[in-house]
Chain A
Amino acid sequence: MKLEDCKLGGTHLKSSDFEKCKVLTTEWTPNLGYAWDNGVAIGRYLAELKEGKIIARICHECHRIMLPPRMFCELCFRPTDEWTYVEDTGVVNTFSIARVNWDASRRGPKEPPLIPAVIEIDGATKGMGILHMLGEIGPDDVKIGMKVRAVWKKPEDRTGAITDILYFKPVRAAASKKAAAGRKR
């Protein structure tokens, strides 16, 4: 068989076909709602975020300090062992300069681009990153490997959500040294 010799299905419609009502469509907006149980690990994670702290879980078998926290170690397949606070600082593993919103709509000309990043949190095992946003920095100044610190919502505005951290902002070199000195557990 050769595809070139076959009559293939799939009829392309143009925007004008809809505008001229050449084809009819049926619309439906589903009204779906979910209320997910956070459970033990993420429940505590969110409660600590409300207090302005980031908490992780330790597995005594592989010795990983895991973020987001989890009640079982997916590699050792056993319950994790204890809670530990980690820093609210970290290192940018990678980032993007996003001019597109979640629904593929474009950000307006006056809206600054969003800067999502994977941030490896200090105090967690190397490579343990979370998705969050960068702020107080221009798109041209972001670098992989740069030190950043969480900017928290005001305590009274926090709800126990990942968005209790507004974004992460760059740490200046001097401040970064100070943070490292104060991190002895």
Chain B
Amino acid sequence: MGMRKVAIVGAGITKFVRRAQETGKELSWQASKMALDSCGITLDDVDMVTLGTAPDAFDGVHMKGEYLADGAGAHRKPYMRHYVGGGTGVFSPIHGWMHVASGMADICLVVAEEKMSSCHPHPQGAFLTIFDHTTEQPLKPTLIWIFALEMNRYMQTYGISKADIARVSVKNKHNALDHPSAQVAEEITVEDVLASETLCWPVNRLDISPASDGAAAVVLASERVARRLTDKPIWIDGVGMSIDSAYWATRDLSYPRYVETAARMAYDMAGIKEPAKEIHIAEPYDPFDYKELHHMEGLMLCPRGEAARLTAEGYTARDGNLPICPSGGALGVGNPIAATGLMKVIEIFLQLRGEAGKRQVPGKPTCGLAQAWGDLMQMGTVIVLRS
């Protein structure tokens, strides 16, 4: 295609915590500075900046991209804020890729931030206003409802039990024990998940990722610059995104076809024909445990309805055939939404460089994928990375 190659050359991340002392600006700065330091550059070397964060109601600031600008290193630079709901974090490096692949920038700093704790009494309150203001909000919905509705439909369609799904939470919280940013890493059992408080059946407390504060950043560079900055550039070989209609209640809730559409776009660009074989490691979005399974199927990493069985067989464990969420995912590391997506991209970056420390998966993976999902169960974003 003759497209300009784009590499990730540096990364930074904060701890994910329930309530950070730092402001959103400061978290953004901590992640950005770490990312710049990791590849030995300064802000002067950065041509452009793009920031992912959403929604404004979390931080409690209108136009929060403007508010966060200086923390994200955007001072007097070309700077944009993009968002696609919960899919934002994985879209962020895709947006940075556009900056570099287009030839507009040689070095683009990509930052993702979320400070959910500012929203009181609970960030869930901000989610009321994601629903249609006329036909849905009067029913006082919570975000957990629509997850519960989707999870119930998914379970019913494929005959999957709550215990099958709970294994994802057990696996990811275990994996997160090795992640220095982790907020809710712990050894738990399937019984613990099933015995945890029922919020909206079939969703229990331990089926859900926590609300978090945190930020992450990566540095993207054109091929020429990347080779100068590092011996181990990680290439962005495929990107994909897709949004389904906002009429979510009309959707087949048992299968995320928007994730499939996004994945097909990314696979086409990366020349991937058989994703289940060619992808060695994946970080699908797991804000709820069933979502990891749902997304594995949408990503065509396994046949529909099979993800739960593969999880039970250990196929998706860190030492399994296809490690899924070796970072610990949103369920274990925490879920500052946009920052979580970028955390997943950073995990693949580190794994492909062989720098994931105790989290390193065996077998020297060379091709990995990160995926996020968002809005009214309608947005899929996918990025394929290769070493």
Contacts and interface: CB of A to CB of B under 8 A. Distances in A.
A contacts B: CB pair < 8 Å: yes
A144 B152 contact: yes
A12 B18 contact: yes
A127 to B, nearest CB: 6
Interface of B is mostly: mixed
A42 to B, nearest CB: 6
B178 to A, nearest CB: 9
Most A CB within 10 A of own CB, among B153, B179, B249: B249
Nearest to A17: B21
Interface residues of B, number: 68
A104 B125 contact: yes
Interface of B: 10-11, 13-22, 26-27, 30-31, 34, 38, 60, 120-122, 124-125, 127-128, 131, 133-136, 138-142, 144-145, 148-150, 152-153, 156, 179-181, 197-203, 213-215, 245, 247, 249-250, 252-253, 350, 355-358
B139 A94 contact: no
A72 interface: no
Interface string A1-33: 111101011111100000000010001101000
B156 A94 contact: yes
B217 to A, nearest CB: 11
A2 B134 contact: no
Contact of A104 (B124, B215, B355): B124
A137 interface: no
B200 A42 contact: no
B111 to A, nearest CB: 13
A11 B250 contact: no
Contact of A9 (B26, B122, B179): B26
B21 A118 contact: no
B350 to A, nearest CB: 7
Interface of A: 1-4, 6, 8-13, 23, 27-28, 30, 34, 36, 38, 42, 45-46, 68, 74, 93-105, 113, 116-118, 127-133, 139, 144, 161-163
Contacts of B27: 9-10
Contacts of B141: 102, 116, 131
A128 B135 CA distance: 14
A74 B153 CA distance: 25
Given A1-B10, A139-B201, 18 more contacts: A1-B11, A2-B350, A8-B13, A9-B22, A9-B34, A11-B20, A13-B19, A34-B133, A68-B247, A93-B253, A98-B145, A102-B141, A103-B121, A127-B252, A129-B250, A162-B135, A162-B138, A162-B139
A4 B357 contact: yes
B249 A103 contact: no
Contact of A3 (B13, B60, B133, B199): B13
Contacts of B131: 131
A104 B60 CA distance: 18
A129 B144 CA distance: 18
B200 A103 contact: no
B256 to A, nearest CB: 15
B181 A8 contact: yes
Most B CB within 10 A of own CB, among A1, A30, A74, A130: A1
Contacts of B13: 3, 8
B89 to A, nearest CB: 16
A40 B308 CA distance: 45
A28 B60 CA distance: 8
Nearest to A15: B19
B65 to A, nearest CB: 18
B22 A133 contact: no
A161 B139 CA distance: 10
Given A9-B26, A10-B214, A104 B122 contact: yes
Contacts of A2: 350, 355-357
A10 B250 contact: no
A10 B20 contact: yes
Contacts of B121: 103-105
Given A3-B180, A94-B153, A10 B30 contact: yes
B124 A10 contact: no
B60 A130 contact: no
A127 B215 CA distance: 39
B128 A102 contact: yes
Contacts of A10: 14-17, 20, 22, 27, 30, 181, 213-215
A152 to B, nearest CB: 15
B149 A96 contact: yes
A148 B135 CA distance: 19
A179 B153 CA distance: 26
Contacts of A4: 180, 357-358
Given A3-B350, A68-B247, A101-B140, A117 B149 contact: yes
B20 A13 contact: yes
Contacts of A139: 201
B206 to A, nearest CB: 15
Given A6-B34, A10-B213, A10-B214, A116 B128 contact: no
A46 B131 CA distance: 17
Given A1-B355, A9-B22, A118 B253 contact: yes
Contacts of A116: 139, 141, 145, 148-149, 200
B145 A96 contact: yes
Given A10-B30, A104-B124, A130-B249, A97 B139 contact: no
